Amino acid sequence: MTSNEDSPSFDSVQSTVRDEPQPTPPISTAAAVAVSAGAWLIPGLGHILLRRWVRGLIFMACVVAMFIMGLAMNGKLYGAEFEIPLQIFALIANLGAGLPYLIAKYMGLGIGVMTSESYDYGTTFLWVAGLLNFLIVLDAFDIAKGRKP
């Protein structure tokens, strides 16, 4: 036998549900992949397309700022040169930044000045900018599929 005090009132349940962030209705896998591709190419675009404006703009600012700081610190952007096979991991990390990487490569930036004292930091910043964007892309995919609010 249960009393009314044992179970939450209808008002409190309604309030709890209303306060929780509501997940996006899941979209098709093809559309989610398209959103993810956009999120990879332009950091933060995936969240913006999913109407997470603030989150998307903050992501964009973070990734682009880290990428620019990496370039400014004379970091190296890796290309498709495979004399040292393990460099492919550095390339994958760099590629994560998307369009900023492609633009910087096209402009001949990121040659990497090894004599600069900030070379290692700059290279790490460039890697981490790309790796963070991979996480952001996965987050956008999860939101698009309705797995998280």
Partner 1 sequence: MSLSHIDALVAFALIVSTVFALITKNEPREQLRYGVFVFLSFLAVAIAVGWIMYPLPL
Positions touching partner 1 (CB under 8 A) are 21, 55, 58-59, 62-63, 65-66, 69, 72-73, 117-118, 121, 124-125, 128, 132, 135-136, 139, 148-149
- The CA distance from 26 to 149, in Å, is 11
- CB of 47 vs partner 1, minimal distance in Å: 9
State the amino acid at position 19 in one-letter form.
Answer: D
Could you tell me if 95 and 130 are in contact, meaning their C-beta atoms sit under 8 angstroms apart? yes
- CB of 135 vs partner 1, minimal distance in Å: 6
Per the rule left: phi > 0, alpha: psi between -120 and 50, beta: everything else, 120 is alpha
- CB neighbours of residue 146 within 10 Å: 13
State the amino acid at position 65 in one-letter form.
Answer: A
Measured from the CB atom, the residue of 74 and 90 that comes closer to partner 1 is 74
- CB of 61 vs partner 1, minimal distance in Å: 9
- CB of 63 vs partner 1, minimal distance in Å: 8
Measured from the CB atom, the residue of 1 and 107 that comes closer to partner 1 is 107
Measured from the CB atom, the residue of 88 and 114 that comes closer to partner 1 is 114
Helix runs in the chain, H state only: 10-19, 29-41, 45-49, 53-72, 87-95, 99-106, 119-144
Measured from the CB atom, the residue of 21 and 25 that comes closer to partner 1 is 21
